[in-house]
Structure 1
Amino acid sequence: MTDTTTTTPPPGAPTGGLARPSIIITSQYLRDLSFENPNAPEALTPGTTIPQVKVNVDVKTRALAENRYEVTLNIKGESDVADKKAFIVELSYAGVVGVENASREQVGPMLLIEAPRQLFPFARQIIADAVRNGGYPPLLIQPIDFVELFRRQVEAAQRARAQDAGVTPAAPTA
């Protein structure tokens, strides 16, 4: 029998005295919302064709203070019915995000992947409600792969830097 006691930390607990990187969303808010219904009521007439919808998503960040950032999720949805614009919905939904225990290399992915992933359900609901209130079925945006969006942003930034330096970048791999 010994006088020492060993305790095992629970799964996921920090080890070695180092805390895990984390983000904390301290506030979230609607920054801008626009809904245009340029061809109402004709576009709402029963029997019209099913609208074709195109959705674009972008994420922007800006530093507010040390380890505090604003992350803005910009979503634009456009719908056409019989070659006429049915509706346009544009949303900027933002959150103030605190980043803790993260290295410089970790901050970008945390702000451009994890923060928008947490903001997205709220933005999706606002868009669905706005489109429904415009007389159309709710626009239920499918989950977004923010990892892929981040990867594309990194590749675009690398291409821009290479062009500025006069270097031809390698083609992206699939």
Structure 2
Amino acid sequence: MTDVPPAETNPQPGQPPLPGFRILAQFVRDLSFENPKAPDSLRIEGKPQIDMGVELNAQGRPDGLFEVDIKLSIKASTESTAVFHVELLYGGLFQLTGIAEKDIEPLLLIECPRYLFPYAREIVARATADGGFYPPFMLDPIDFAGIYAARMQQQAQAAGTA
């Protein structure tokens, strides 16, 4: 134990709140798992081809909170057959305090998904394991900052050609 008091978390009266965010809830909005060729798909030779898509969405709510969704779509197939298809829409409810207007969008589309991702990853792994696949499919970490940067670049290019 130390005799040092904890850092001040609330500013003095009249000062703006310190920047931060809280995760109020996390939830599965939609989950679909298809194993169309079971049980034959469980005996494939080699590794299947994986096609993965990631979509991010964030929106404000009338109560001042923000909803952030990660949509993951994973299709595994071989040259001759579909192996499995998982679609997950995983969301979180966030409260932001003391965040500058210019920093809200990057926070919602980079940092919030970083907090949600490990839980979404576990759901996908569990769905594939429950579908009979061993080892279960484990998503590699996703570079949400890279996705955000690419999105901003696409928007800038679209605005430049318009």
Which of the five TM-score ranges fits, normalised by the shorter chain?
0.7 to 0.9
CA deviation profile, 1:53-74 (whole Å, cap 9, x unmatched): 2221111011113641100011
Aligned residues with identical type, % of pairs: 33
1:132 counterpart = 2:129: yes
How far off its partner does 1:50 sit?
1.8
Decide whether aligned partners of structure 1 residues 156 and 31 sit closer, same or farther in structure 2, where only a CA change above 3 A counts: same
Q: How many residues are paired up?
A: 156
Residue 58 (structure 2) aligns with = 61
Residue 115 (structure 1) aligns with = 112
One-letter amino acid of the structure 2 residue matched with residue 118 of structure 1? Y
Residue 3 (structure 1) aligns with = none
Normalised TM-score (structure 2): 0.85
How far off its partner does 1:96 sit?
0.8
1:96 counterpart = 2:100: no
Decide whether aligned partners of structure 1 residues 12 and 56 sit closer, same or farther in structure 2, where only a CA change above 3 A counts: farther
The answer as to whether partners of 1:23 and 1:97 remain within 8 angstroms in 2 is yes
Decide whether aligned partners of structure 1 residues 67 and 132 sit closer, same or farther in structure 2, where only a CA change above 3 A counts: same
SS in 2 for 1:141: coil
Normalised TM-score (structure 1): 0.79
Residues 71-82 of structure 1: matches in 2 within 5 Å?
71-82=68-79
How far off its partner does 1:49 sit?
2.4
Distance 1:161 1:40 in 2: 47
How far off its partner does 1:12 sit?
9.7
How far off its partner does 1:159 sit?
2.3
Distance 2:65 2:158 in 1: 27
How far off its partner does 1:141 sit?
0.6
After superposing the two structures, state which structure 1 stretch, 69-78 or 129-138, moved more.
Answer: 129-138
Distance 2:129 2:16 in 1: 48
How far off its partner does 1:25 sit?
1.1
SS in 2 for 1:65: coil
How far off its partner does 1:81 sit?
2.1
1:83 counterpart = 2:87: no
Decide whether aligned partners of structure 1 residues 108 and 12 sit closer, same or farther in structure 2, where only a CA change above 3 A counts: farther
Distance 1:155 1:38 in 2: 38
The answer as to whether partners of 1:48 and 1:81 remain within 8 angstroms in 2 is no
